[in-house]
Structure 1
Amino acid sequence: MDIKDLERIDTQKMHKVYDDWPNISKNSLESDQEKLDIKGINHVVFSGMGGSGSIGDVISSILSKENIHVTTVKGYHIPNNLDKNSLVVTTSISGNTRETLAILENAKKTDAHIAAFSSGGDIENFCSKNDIFYQKIPMIHSPRASFTKFLFTMLKSLEQSIPIKSINLLEAVNELEKTKKTIFSGNLKEDNTSLELAKWINDIPLIYYPWGLQSAAIRFKNSLQENSKMHVITEDVIEACHNGIVAWEKKSKIKPILIRGKDDFIKTKERWQVLIEFFDKENIEFFEINSISGNILSKIVNLIFLFDYCSIYHGVLNNIDPSPVRSIDYIKNKL
């Protein structure tokens, strides 16, 4: 694949937005924005679907070791234990997601605090009418391509209400710039890991992940589904060793991809080694991706950067324009 192929098949130039992700992230951190300042929050609910939902997944991972309960909601129903110490964070990049609007409506009936983020639409109108904390964030290209703009704007806006360290945000942005140098569209060579993985993927990929990197795996699945229009499976590596591993006793066209963290739990590292030994013994070809070092936000965001590029490249390699999602449009038009 060369740049001419990329430009010809990626008709809406999605790859150019990703080329600018480090700058978009940096500008989002540096921009002035209203901050939610609520103390005593012990339960945060993140609500969103698709690309918006992946933001909640990432923030949930960031908070996984904090003394705060986190619930992610992808659908219409909120937890029934919300109180004055709860915060419901809703994200709809388009601003018109039916499920997210339903969550807002239901959360308004509780004692929970609410924060909403969108590019406008019905979400903005509802928040204006009901005096709900709201931040309008312009969409760039598409919901999935707007990921870093929304993520870093939201993290900056929420840093006084939930435990988020500014130094970790800065590190994540700096690492994005380093990662870009090898995977962006200006380097379509053999040392581009995103392109290498895209060339390797065929049939149905099965993405194995450790607990802390679940959000990166789910995002990779979503991006391949939308950008490359293909079926994808994800499995937690520990759980898979208790059931999913048995499926490999039968010949399969499934292609395993292993996402490993630099600081995986010692028992997880042992499990990776056993799984790799098993694949080698059974002559099962696999592809291994290791996270960068650093804080959990840096690991996840840079993996998503790599995987999203991979999904674009995979689409182009298979003569598929990554941007159109006519099946999603069909569903939305029916709602």
Structure 2
Amino acid sequence: MNKLDNREAVAKLDSENMLKLIEGLPEQCKEAHAIGKAAGISKIEGKISNIVFAGLGGSAIGADIVRVYLQNELALPVVVSRNYTLPDFAGGETLLFCASYSGNTEETLSSFEDGLKRGARIITMGSGGRLKELSGKNGFKHIVIPKGFPPRTAVGYMSIAVLAILAKLGLIKDKEAEVNAVSRALVELRDREIGIDVALDKNISKQLASKLVGKHCVIYGTSDTTEAVSVRWRGQIAENSKALSSSHVLPEMNHNEIVGWEFPKELLKNSNVIILRDRSDHARTKKRVEISKDIIKKSGAEIFEFERKDPSLLARLFSLIYIGDFTSFYLAILNGIDPTPVKNVDYLKSELTKS
């Protein structure tokens, strides 16, 4: 039996049951919408001219998904800030979401303080920690996310809950029906194409993971839709699989990175390219993808493409995320490593507390 088809062999490496957390994303999305809807936020006083999301890692990816999904619906500029300070334009007409799953991310706490000084209207999200304390102390609403998750596995909470809040504020239409469609699409995808009980010969994530072992992985998204998903894939391969990969976006990479597909030749031959596409991509972007594939193939790299057919953009984005999450898990197993621990992140945090 193939290693990835053997639950017992997988469980021996997966000591903290990352598999269960990944499997639970469809249910998490529905729960997240209920959390946001029940948050007790119905209006924000005064004019809102822009929205800023302050967060890092999984919290920021959730915001990226919201930004991409709403780009043709939300009539306000949306910026995702991954820094200690907010953009200079942020001020009294800014709706600021400060998101930290742990509640103790130092960059997010710093952004909260910055937003407080500037008079921004603030909503915080997380499972507790210092962020919740500061939010309550200053009279802001804190959205409580369930505890017990590595931050990267809370992407549903950190994105879908925001959609419910924005709808309650009257900034977008209610998304409950679409969130339910997302959940159904993910269940079907899990049970038929990528879940642990789907055998290797029918499992697109297991097959891809098998191809990625010992390879350098390059992930390309498109600026119209899948850019945020490509960043998610890169992060999951790093955190779960403990493997380096890179990501870029079309059409931007056509103006720089595409030239680099000449050297070093041995690295390029040992690379696999993943292209994440969407049917709503600009027609010229679609053409650029095809030409880029022709160029990349000359290097000897193997190319894998993923595109979903769901009617909803939100379902298509989350389906691509789900394929990547399972792929990164299976790659961890094939690499012979526990997917949950993030020792280098823990070391960084411990060293930062000393200064």
TM-score category, normalised to shorter length? over 0.9
**Is structure 2 residue 191 aligned with structure 1 residue 178?**
no
Q: Distance in 2 between matches of 1:15 and 1:84?
A: 43
CA separation of 1:303 and 1:36: change in aligned 2, threshold 3 A: farther
Q: Distance in 1 between matches of 2:87 and 2:300?
A: 46
CA separation of 1:36 and 1:107: change in aligned 2, threshold 3 A: farther
The alignment-based identity, stated in percent, is 27
Give the drift of 1:42: 2.7
Whether the 8 Å contact between 2:91 and 2:115 is mirrored in structure 1 is no
Q: Distance in 2 between matches of 1:258 and 1:235?
A: 10
Give the drift of 1:64: 1.7
Residue of structure 1 aligned with 2:146, choices 118, 138, 141: 138
Whether the 8 Å contact between 2:30 and 2:179 is mirrored in structure 1 is no
**Is structure 2 residue 210 aligned with structure 1 residue 199?**
yes
Q: Distance in 2 between matches of 1:296 and 1:164?
A: 15
Give the drift of 1:190: 1.7
Pairs within 5 Å for 1:227-306:
227-250=240-263, 251=265, 252=268, 253-306=270-323
Q: TM-score, normalised by structure 1?
A: 0.94
CA separation of 1:164 and 1:228: change in aligned 2, threshold 3 A: farther
Give the drift of 1:280: 4.0
Give the drift of 1:283: 4.1
Q: Distance in 1 between matches of 2:111 and 2:298?
A: 49
Name the structure 2 match of 1:114: 122
CA separation of 1:73 and 1:325: change in aligned 2, threshold 3 A: same
Whether the 8 Å contact between 1:78 and 1:106 is mirrored in structure 2 is yes
CA separation of 1:134 and 1:36: change in aligned 2, threshold 3 A: farther
Residue of structure 2 aligned with 1:22, choices 23, 26, 47: 26
Pairs within 5 Å for 1:64-213:
64-65=71-72, 66-161=74-169, 162-166=171-175, 167-181=177-191, 182-201=193-212, 202-211=214-223, 212-213=225-226
Residue of structure 2 aligned with 1:328, choices 345, 348, 353: 345
Q: How many residues align?
A: 335
Give the drift of 1:129: 0.9
Gaps of 5+ in 1: none
Gaps of 5+ in 2: none
